[in-house]
Amino acid sequence: MKTALRSRPAASTAPPQPPPGRSLVTWNLDPQAYCSAHEHATRANFARRLATLTGCAYAGDYDAQQPYAAAPYFVPSNTVTDAGLAQAMGIASVHDLFGGVVPHAFIATKAITHPVAGPDAPRPAGWCPRFATEIAGSALEGFSCFSRDEARSAGRTMLGAGVVRIKPVTATGGRGQVVARDADALDRCIDAMDESDIASHGLVLEENLERPVTYSVGQVIVERMLVSYYGQQRLTRDNAGEEVYGGSDLTLVRGDFEALLASSGLAPPLRQAIDQARRYHRAVIDCYPGFFASRTNYDVAQGTGRGGAWRSGVLEQSWRVGGATGAEIAALESFQADPARDRVRASTFEVYGPAPVPAEAIVSYQGVDPQVGPLAKYTLLSTHADSP
C-alpha cells in the first residue's frame, strides 16, 4: 500500500539540527493584502511556540534587510505559490516552514478539487488532468471553470441533476458562496462576478449538500514529530450575527494517516473521511512535483446530495496556518513533553463577544479586534484520549 508521505523523509528520519543562531519568523506573503489584528497576533503566538519546539529564536516578522545568520524557519501567512521565491528564501523542505509550497498558484485554491468541463475548456498553465482521476470518489461532483461561458454551460449540466453551489476559489470560511436552484439564479450569480478574476483564479461549481457535517483531517511535521488528526468543525455567530467557523474538536495521534485509520472504533463515515483526505493528499504529491507541506488540512463534507443520496467528499485543502493550528501546536507540545504519549484530544474555540475564557485554556488571542470586535481564540487539551 502506498503511504501518505512517499516523497518525504520517513517519520523516523531525524531532520537536520537548526543551524546555530537560526531564527524563526512570521512572513506576510502579500503586504498589500489586508490582515486583521487578531490574525496577525494569532500567527505571532503560534510562531513563538513553534520557535520553542524547533529550538529556533523567535525574531518577529521577516525583515528582508535583516542579516540573518542562517535562512530562517518561516511561518507564512499563506501557502507559498512561487517555487522560485521559496528557493531564494532557503525553503527547501518541510523542515524550513510551517505551511506548504506549491509549484502553481491554482494548486493552493479550491480550483484544484474538480476537473475542467471538457478537453477544450480553458485551464491554467501547469494543470494536471490526471488529478481528477486520482481523487475520483474522494470529492463531490463539480467543475472548475475559468470563463463565464464555461461556468454557465457546466452549471446548466449540473442543474439537470440537482442544486448547484457556486464557490469563489480564493475565499475562506464559506464566504461568498451562493446556492443556485435554477438557470436564472446561476446566470445572475455568474454575471455579477468579474470576468478577469474568473479567468485568473477560476470558479468552482459543486453539488450542494443539505445539512452537511464537516470533518477536518490533517497532518503536521515539526522536528522529529509527525502528527495526524481527525475531528469535526463547529459553527458560531460572530459579533455581526453571521454564522462563521467556531472551532474544531480533534483527536491527534503520532504517525501518518495510516496511524489514524488504525484507530479502533472509528465510525464508517469518519473512516471514509480520513481515507478520502489521504487519497487527496497522495494525489497532490503524485500529480504536482515540487509540492511539499509540513502543515496540511483537508475539509471533508458529508450530507444529503442529489436525489436524497448520502454523499461525502473533500471540499478544499489548506497548507498554511489555519483554524486547527492551535490544537496542532498544543498536541506537538504535549508529545514533545512526554515521548511516551501517542494520542491527545484538543478542542479549538473562536468565541465572539465578552465571553469568559476557561482558566485551563491555551490562549492564542484575546482582545478587541478593530474590525470584528471582542474575540477570544483558545485551545482546551486533554491527554486522556482513548480511541472513539
pLDDT in tens, 207-218: 999 999 999 999
Instruction: Measure CA 359 to chain center.
Output: 29
**Is residue 223 a part of any domain in this protein?**
yes
Which of 324, 321, 327 lies closest to 383, judged by CA?
327
Q: Model pTM?
A: 0.90
Pick from 208, 239, 262: which residue ends a domain? 208
pLDDT at 386 (0 to 100): 59
Cell of 64: 528582508
Could you tell me if residue 12 is inside a domain? no
- Per the domain annotation, does 90 fall within a domain? yes
pLDDT at 7 over 90: no
Lowest-pLDDT choice from 4-8, 60-64, 343-347: 4-8
* 17: confidence class by pLDDT, cuts 50, 70, 90: low
Q: How many domains does the chain have?
A: 3
Domain contains 5: no
Tell me the three state secondary structure of residue 346: strand
Task: Tell me, yes or no, whether 377 and 241 share the same domain.
Answer: yes
Q: Rounded distance, CA 364 to CA 378, Å?
A: 5
Q: Is residue 331 part of a domain?
A: yes
High-pLDDT (> 90) share of the chain, % = 82
202 and 92 fall within a common domain: no
**Averaged pLDDT for residues 54-58:** 96
Domain C-terminal end among 208, 241, 271: 208
Report pLDDT digits (tens) over 115-163: 999 899 999 999 999 999 999 999 999 999 999 999 999 999 999 888 9
Residue 229 within a domain: yes
pLDDT (0 to 100) of residue 174: 57
Q: CATH number of the domain that 118 lies in?
A: 3.30.1490.20
pLDDT at 11: 42
Whether residues 223 and 194 share a domain: the answer is no
Residues near 197 by Cβ (< 8 Å), separated by ≥ 6? none
Asked whether residue 158 falls in the same domain as residue 175, the answer is yes
At which of 52, 80, 104 does a domain end?
Answer: 104
Residues 198 and 240 in one domain: no
Q: Which amino acid is at 296?
A: T
Whether 14 is in a domain gets the answer no
Alpha-carbon distance of 315 to 141, in angstroms, equals 10
What is the domain range of residue 34? Answer: 23-104
With b meaning 16 or more CB within 10 Å and e meaning fewer, what string describes 273-295?
A: bbbbbbbbbbbbbbbbeebbbbb
Q: Are 253 and 326 part of one and the same domain? A: yes
Of 18, 23, 21, 20, the residue nearest 63 (C-alpha): 23
Output the DSSP codes for 101-158.
Answer: E-SSGGGGSGGGGS--SSTTS---TT--THHHHHTTTSB-SEEEESSHHHHHHHHHHH
Rg (CA), the chain: 21
| Same domain for 338 and 240 | yes
- Mean pLDDT (whole number) for 170-181: 76
Both 187 and 258 in one domain: the answer is no
Same domain, 47 and 130: no
The DSSP line for 190-252 is HHTS-HHHHHHH-EEEEE--EEEEEEEEEEEEETTEEEEEEEEEEEEE-TTS-EEEEEEEEEE
CATH of the domain at 318: 3.30.470
Do 152 and 266 have their domain in common?
no
Residue 178 and residue 189 in contact, taking contact as beta carbons nearer than 8 Å: yes
Nine-digit cell string for 315: 471540499
The Cα 52–Cα 43 span in angstroms is: 15
Q: What is the largest CA-CA distance in the chain?
A: 62
Residues 226 and 364 in one domain: yes
**Residue-level length of the chain:** 388
Give residue for cell 452549471. Answer: 155
Per-residue pLDDT at 167: 92
Same domain, 360 and 215: yes
Continuous segment of H or E residues that includes residue 363: strand 362-369
